[in-house]
Structure 1
Amino acid sequence: MSNYDQNISRVCDYINQNLDDELSLDKLSQVSGFSKYHFHRIFTAHTGSSLIKFIQISRLRRASFRLMLKNKMKIIDIAYEAGFDSAEAFSRAFKREFGQTPSTFRNAPQWIEWHERSESLSIKKAEQPEVRIVDFAETKVAVLEHHGSPELMYETSQKFMNWRNESKRFPANTTLSFGLVYADPKKANPDDFRFDFCSSIKGDVPENDHGIITKTIPAGRCAVFRHSGSFKNIRHGIHYLYSTWLVQNNAECRDFPLFFHYINTIYDVDEHELLSDIYLPIK
């Protein structure tokens, strides 16, 4: 990863961590370490987007999570938070970027188109995370299986969280949240893609009409690294595990899929504050 990539990545992180602030050219060029006379062109060359466009999409992306997760938050308040002076201006910008008005998105989000548009700005991140080896303890989990396009995972996730909240079996201070990844979402046929949304549980899940079942994450050695921020860039760390770390450490994978332990979730914090541990089961 070049110094240019690192500097631009630092700027993008700064933007997403300070969306409520005035993100001026002078300030962001200082963060980048580049002259303000050249910073904008360097930023565009490395992201494929103008600085203004990147900031607006970042704010609109956060607004989309507000619309989905905070039903009691008024659209006008979400508009103000995103830096718009009126609901009309916010609606026009939101529809231009995501193909739906904010109110339509809140009621029936078109996730496939949302992913295509909001994740078009892919910023290269550091590809060598700090990896440690741990002994994972066997964990029984309640599971809702996702089958189909990875872009529709938010729908399944929301169904699972709704069931979890309604069941009142998952106290926040003792429940662990996991995701089991059965295939690379960038390479799998959408119709064949599988992902399990999981919460730790002491006993078996009672029979229900929501499709929630009981599974077990087995005990065993795992290579683990911590990912912070958006999941848009998580593939770089995972690629490092498979392409480099396994070879350098003469390690072999066990017959169980990669899985995530969510330290927090998008239901609890903003996207840039997300923390997740990525587990690769090894022999």
Structure 2
Amino acid sequence: MPGDNALTTPKPTPTPTPTPTAAQRYRARFQRVLRHIDDHPDGDLSVAALSAVAAFSPHHFHRQFTALFGIGIHRCVQLLRFKRAGHRLAFRTDPILTIALDAGYDGPEAFARAFKRCVGQSPSAFRAAPDWAAWRAVQSDLLPIERFTMTDQPPPDATDIRIITVPDIPVAVLEHRGDPARIGDSVRRFIDWRKANGLPPQRHATYNILHDDPEQVPPDDFRLDLCVATDRAVEPNPDGVRTGVIPGGRCATLRHVGSEAGLRAALLHLYRDWLPASGEEPGDAPPYLQRVRFFPDVPETEAVTDLFLPLAG
């Protein structure tokens, strides 16, 4: 029959998927726990419930958790709940009762007592004027959790990075200049200005221009621009918001999904790994990012940020 003597091209042998090691499987079970806490802050986050998520014995789970992270599971749950609650208090207008219920408390009184014991301010006082230094000190207990989450995320692949041409983006700009620990005050002022001027993030994209690396400049010299896309003229205002533009051109872009803590690693990958191998040269403009989905509106693991590295040419 025709084709009987035709050469048959052998099919390529698929690359086998590496089998996770015992240590990787162990860590993945704790990743499930952290993701469950992030996705269900108002749910049952008892040792019994979380040990079931991890498929560990409840008799040993809390000791395993503390041994891995240096923080007890009860403390971790409380801090993760208060992290989201604190962001909603500082940057949103949700009623305190709603925030309390979403944090797993039966009512605002119990929430207020626990929040004040932990943070040093009542929820209403924190909403009015957050003590950022105290807030950062409390949240520092979560650093082992953040490092664990970051190291367990696969590094971006070169195929995840695209080179695109973007147009000029007219924006309204509020410059934050000074200690990065106080950027929350600038964010609050910028949110209030956006609300007063009818520029919600659902219809007007949010950008940050990354002029400085907070780890490479003195705190007083740190600079970051908070931007909202708009072609409206910005009237003189006491908030310091002005008209600006993000210059267009060729950019390398990378999407980061996850917590704020992973943004630095993603940007470092662009500069350290991708740029030298690409043959490209950086352009004469700072990197910037677009906030696509925000924490605390979505769980930290579902926050979406697009990074842009301007290129020459």
Fold-level similarity (TM above 0.5): yes
Pairwise CA distance, 1:96? 2.9
Aligned to 2:184: 154
2:221 to 192, 199, 212: 192
Q: 1:107 to 1:173 in 2, by over 3 A?
A: closer
Aligned to 2:163: 133
Q: SS state of the match for residue 263, structure 1?
A: strand
Contact 2:84 2:296 in 1 (8 A): no
The 10-residue stretch of structure 1 (264-273 or 238-247) with the greater mean CA deviation from structure 2: 264-273
Counterparts of 2:78 and 2:42, CA distance in 1: 11
Pairwise CA distance, 1:72? 5.5
Q: SS state of the match for residue 135, structure 1?
A: strand
Contact 2:91 2:191 in 1 (8 A): no
Aligned to 1:202: 231
Q: 1:204 to 1:86 in 2, by over 3 A?
A: closer
Contact 2:178 2:222 in 1 (8 A): yes
Contact 1:8 1:46 in 2 (8 A): no
Query: How many residues get paired?
Result: 281
Q: 1:207 to 1:118 in 2, by over 3 A?
A: same
Q: Deviations over 1:65-99 (max 9, x none)?
A: 232244461x3443333223454442332123222
Structure ID, larger Rg: 2
Contact 2:90 2:188 in 1 (8 A): no
Give the TM-score normalised by the residue count of structure 2.
0.78
1:48 to 70, 91, 94: 70
Q: Deviations over 1:188-247 (max 9, x none)?
A: 321111110101122442333321112221112222222223313322222222222223
Q: How does 1:104-183 map to 2 (within 5 A)?
A: 104-122=125-143, 123-124=146-147, 125=150, 126=153, 128-129=155-156, 130-168=160-198, 170=199, 174-183=203-212
Counterparts of 1:282 and 1:28, CA distance in 2: 46
Counterparts of 2:62 and 2:266, CA distance in 1: 28
Q: SS state of the match for residue 251, structure 2?
A: strand
Counterparts of 2:308 and 2:56, CA distance in 1: 37
Letter in 2 for 1:12: L
Q: 1:80 to 1:72 in 2, by over 3 A?
A: closer
Structure 2: tracts of 5 or more residues without a match:
1-22
Counterparts of 1:277 and 1:213, CA distance in 2: 24
Calculate percent identity across the aligned residue pairs. Answer: 37
Pairwise CA distance, 1:100? 1.5
Counterparts of 1:237 and 1:10, CA distance in 2: 22
Does 2:41 match 1:19? Answer: yes
Q: 1:258 to 1:55 in 2, by over 3 A?
A: same
Q: Deviations over 1:92-122 (max 9, x none)?
A: 3212322222222122111232123224312
Pairwise CA distance, 1:180? 0.6
Structure 1: tracts of 5 or more residues without a match:
none
Contact 1:182 1:257 in 2 (8 A): yes
**Larger RCO, structure (CA 8 Å, separation 6 or more):** 1
Q: 1:162 to 1:50 in 2, by over 3 A?
A: same
The 10-residue stretch of structure 1 (80-89 or 146-155) with the greater mean CA deviation from structure 2: 80-89
Q: SS state of the match for residue 121, structure 1?
A: helix
Counterparts of 2:124 and 2:232, CA distance in 1: 40
Q: 1:10 to 1:277 in 2, by over 3 A?
A: farther
Q: Deviations over 1:47-69 (max 9, x none)?
A: 22111211111111122123224
Aligned to 1:251: 280
Aligned to 1:260: 289
Counterparts of 1:209 and 1:7, CA distance in 2: 51
Q: SS state of the match for residue 237, structure 2?
A: coil
Give the TM-score normalised by the residue count of structure 1.
0.85
| CA root-mean-square deviation | 2.8
